[in-house]
């Protein structure tokens, strides 16, 4: 199947008696009700497929005719497709077909025009019009403008899915997990999971920063599903304790220049307990809380800051056996 073709099984099916249609060239607006309604999703392409299977092909008929525009189609959200092998393959045409869709009697998506051209259906020659719902709804019936030549018998109309062009998908499952709060500075690798149908060409652009929504591109077209922490720190700078970092991985396909923007994830590095408790005096306090008074001070409100007052040092000093070692980075 090619992109845009009606594919797969019928999503819902309805039939009508073609022998009761008006004879060509008089058109009938015929509503075909589906046996079971099917939910169409807004923005997703579907196809209305018509065929008549109860008689053998003859160059002189009988035929079912479906009205079409006379020239180039004017319906921008779909295309006419014809099949000469009972739906095994399809060919697109520029004229569009007349149709209305309904949900419990309420018209939803329509493309109508005057009685212009004709497209016939008989036996293995099937016709289809793709369309894109403007909202999500359960389609219960379609209205087609039809006429007949001789007695075509039962006509079958169905809704099918449409073959769509693949597009990049967002990556998932970050490691560290999103909003992780016990991150250490010796974390070795950041990883993610790609769509299982991702092509070999798929690469990833990695963004990083300390402000949500304002991230910098720090790794372009990474071919793997991971990036070493050492690379991030080399580009973005060494991490510090008690800090929240944000990162994002966008999926990129070079051949089509398409990008799927990923979700923003975050993690927070660990904080150490302070060697000394710190307090901030709240002016105008009543002395009744809900804060703790530091030892020896009563009748005033103090707020325990809980801030991390440690800094990351780049010099290690150790002493043992009457010797001192100093390591500089």
| Ranges of each domain in the chain | 6-162, 172-269
Please report the sign of the dihedral spanned by the C-alpha atoms of residue 81, residue 86, residue 87, residue 91: negative
Task: Report which of 136, 197, 143 is spatially closest to residue 29, judged by C-alpha positions.
Answer: 143
More confident site: 281 or 44: 44
Beta bridge partners of 42: none
Q: Are 212 and 246 in contact (CB under 8 A)?
A: yes
The predicted model scores a pTM of 0.57
Give 155-201 pLDDT, tens digit per residue: 999 999 997 778 899 999 999 999 999 888 778 899 999 999 899 99
Q: Which fold has domain 172-269?
A: Immunoglobulin-like (2.60.40)
Give 198-236 pLDDT, tens digit per residue: 999 999 999 998 899 999 999 999 999 999 877 666 665
Q: Cα torsion for 118, 122, 126, 129, to the nearest 10°?
A: 30
């Amino acid at each position: 199947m090619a992109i845009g073709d009606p594919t797969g099984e019928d999503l819902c099916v309805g039939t009508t008696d073609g022998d009761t249609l008006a004879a060509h060239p008089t058109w009938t607006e015929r509503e075909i009700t589906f046996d079971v309604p099917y939910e169409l999703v807004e923005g997703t392409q579907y196809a209305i497929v018509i065929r008549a299977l109860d008689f053998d092909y003859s160059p002189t008929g009988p035929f079912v005719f479906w009205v079409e525009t006379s020239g180039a189609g004017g319906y921008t959200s779909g295309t006419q497709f014809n099949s000469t092998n009972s739906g095994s393959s399809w060919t697109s045409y520029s004229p569009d077909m007349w149709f209305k869709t309904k949900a419990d009697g309420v018209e939803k998506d329509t493309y109508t025009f005057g009685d212009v051209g004709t497209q016939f259906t008989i036996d293995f020659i099937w016709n289809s019009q793709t369309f894109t719902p403007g909202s999500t709804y359960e389609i219960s019936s379609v209205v087609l403008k039809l006429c007949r030549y001789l007695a075509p018998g039962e006509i079958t109309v169905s809704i099918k899915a449409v073959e769509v062009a693949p597009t990049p998908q967002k990556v998932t499952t970050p490691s560290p997990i999103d909003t992780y709060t016990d991150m250490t500075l010796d974390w070795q690798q950041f990883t993610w999971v790609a769509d299982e149908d991702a092509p070999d060409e798929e690469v990833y652009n990695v963004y990083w920063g300390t402000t949500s929504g304002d991230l910098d591109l720090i790794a372009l077209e990474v071919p793997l599903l991971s990036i070493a922490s050492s690379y991030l720190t080399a580009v973005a700078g060494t991490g510090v304790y008690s800090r929240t970092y944000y990162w994002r991985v966008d999926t990129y396909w070079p051949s089509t220049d398409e990008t799927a923007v990923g979700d923003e994830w975050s993690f927070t590095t660990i904080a150490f307990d302070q060697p000394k408790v710190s307090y901030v005096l709240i002016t105008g306090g009543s002395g009744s809380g809900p804060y703790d008074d530091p030892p020896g001070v009563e009748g005033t409100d103090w707020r325990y800051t809980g801030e991390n007052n440690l800094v990351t040092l780049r010099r290690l000093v150790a002493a043992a056996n009457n010797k001192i070692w100093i390591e500089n980075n």
